[in-house]
């Protein structure tokens, strides 16, 4: 993701420093009454030790559409749980459909070529703060839709300039809304850069303010995009969003799985490089992966179990 106020990626590379946790866990086939979660989480020895067979994981309302009720004022989180079955912790993550995230920095994009190159989904920059709209958003959003690329809008957060509620309102009104059309992902909140002078508790409050406002306006849980270093530093490794928002982790690595920020059990989406290439796009582009099958990606878009 890119802020319009930066001219290089140096800051991002410093902020995306890898942490210690390199694994999550894969959810097993045995599930209590209720739908499956967003996707199997990355696996590894750390997960095996932390969550043995028989452990339960509350689904909350943030994972792959579980419990979503569009425009409902009396929404209540889903309280069903997943149960890890014997052998549920496997040796490999289920990273599936390929994606990209783009802004006007990519220039004019040939979305038909992007689709033909095997890209299933994209996040497209819409807004920043409460005054900026990406000049290429409307064209990208429309042409991605026409090419049948599942796409969502993202908002580059500026927590030091205005409230989370104000920025969520601006985002929802300028491209961040959601519709059940098989091709629209829930909006994404891009959290990177510095901590904007906010304490960890103030940053937590800002994020929750954005989340609550966005959900009230769209009926969807906003996706959280962040790096392990940013989240751990600026929120103190806060776990308050883990039962609310799918995680889109930024961790540029050739490892099989990303590093997960403290406070989240696993990532639903992974930006694994900022130097990718895709037919239909000139120059480098962020490349992403979805943690699950194409059917689960569609379920996230459609707000279905």
In a domain, 53, yes or no: no
DSSP character string of 188-247: EEE--S--TT--HHHHHHHHHHHHHHHHHHHSSPPEEEE-HHHHHHHSSS--TTTTTS-E
pLDDT mean across residues, the chain = 77
Please tell me the predicted confidence (pLDDT) of residue 94. Answer: 74
Distance CA 180, CA 134 (A): 24
In a domain, 48, yes or no: no
Range of the domain at 175: 10-14+92-302
**CATH number of the CATH domain containing 296:** 3.20.20.80
Q: How far from 225 is each of 46, 51, 173, 192, 238, CA to CA, in Å?
A: 23, 25, 20, 8, 14
pLDDT-based confidence at 140, cuts 50/70/90?
A: very high
Top-confidence residue, 76 or 208:
208
In a domain, 273, yes or no: yes
Q: Give the total number of structural domains in the chain.
A: 1
In a domain, 210, yes or no: yes
In a domain, 104, yes or no: yes
pLDDT at 289 over 80: yes
In a domain, 49, yes or no: no
What the block records as the tokens of 74 is 């009396």
Q: Cite the active site residues.
A: 101, 190, 192
Please tell me the predicted confidence (pLDDT) of residue 108. Answer: 98
CA proximity to 289, closest of 232, 239, 243, 249: 249
In a domain, 240, yes or no: yes
| pLDDT tens per residue across span 85-100 | 222 222 235 799 999 9
CA proximity to 246, closest of 181, 290, 295: 290
Please tell me the predicted confidence (pLDDT) of residue 224. Answer: 98
- Average pLDDT of the segment spanning 206-219: 98
Choice among 65-69, 79-83, 287-291 with the minimum mean pLDDT = 65-69
């Amino acid at each position: 993701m890119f802020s319009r106020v930066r001219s290089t990626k140096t800051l991002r590379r410093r902020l995306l420093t890898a942490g210690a946790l390199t694994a999550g866990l894969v959810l097993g086939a045995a599930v209590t009454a209720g739908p499956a979660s967003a996707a199997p989480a990355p696996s590894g020895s750390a997960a095996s030790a932390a969550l043995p067979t028989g452990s339960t994981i509350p689904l909350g309302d943030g994972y792959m559409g579980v419990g979503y009720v569009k425009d409902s004022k009396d929404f209540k989180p889903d309280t069903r749980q997943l149960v890890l079955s014997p052998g549920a912790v496997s040796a490999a993550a289920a990273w599936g459909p390929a994606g990209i995230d783009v802004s006007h920095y990519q220039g004019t994009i040939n979305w038909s070529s992007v689709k033909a190159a095997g890209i299933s989904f994209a996040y497209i920059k819409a807004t920043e703060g409460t005054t900026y709209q990406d000049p290429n958003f409307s064209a990208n959003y429309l042409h991605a839709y026409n090419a049948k690329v599942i796409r969502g809008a993202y908002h580059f957060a500026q927590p030091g300039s205005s409230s989370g509620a104000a920025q969520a309102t601006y985002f929802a009104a300028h491209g961040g809304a959601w519709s059940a059309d098989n091709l629209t992902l829930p909006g994404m909140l891009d959290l990177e850069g510095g901590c904007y002078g906010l304490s960890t508790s103030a940053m937590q409050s800002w994020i929750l303010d954005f989340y609550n406002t966005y959900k009230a306006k769209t009926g969807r849980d906003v996706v959280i995009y962040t790096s392990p270093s940013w989240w751990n530093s600026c929120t103190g490794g806060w776990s308050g969003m883990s039962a609310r928002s799918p995680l889109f982790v930024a961790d540029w690595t050739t490892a099989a799985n990303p590093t997960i920020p403290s406070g989240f059990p696993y990532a639903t989406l992974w930006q694994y490089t900022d130097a990718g290439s895709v037919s239909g796009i000139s120059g480098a582009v962020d490349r992403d992966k979805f943690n699950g099958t194409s059917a689960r990606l569609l379920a996230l878009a459609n707000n279905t179990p």
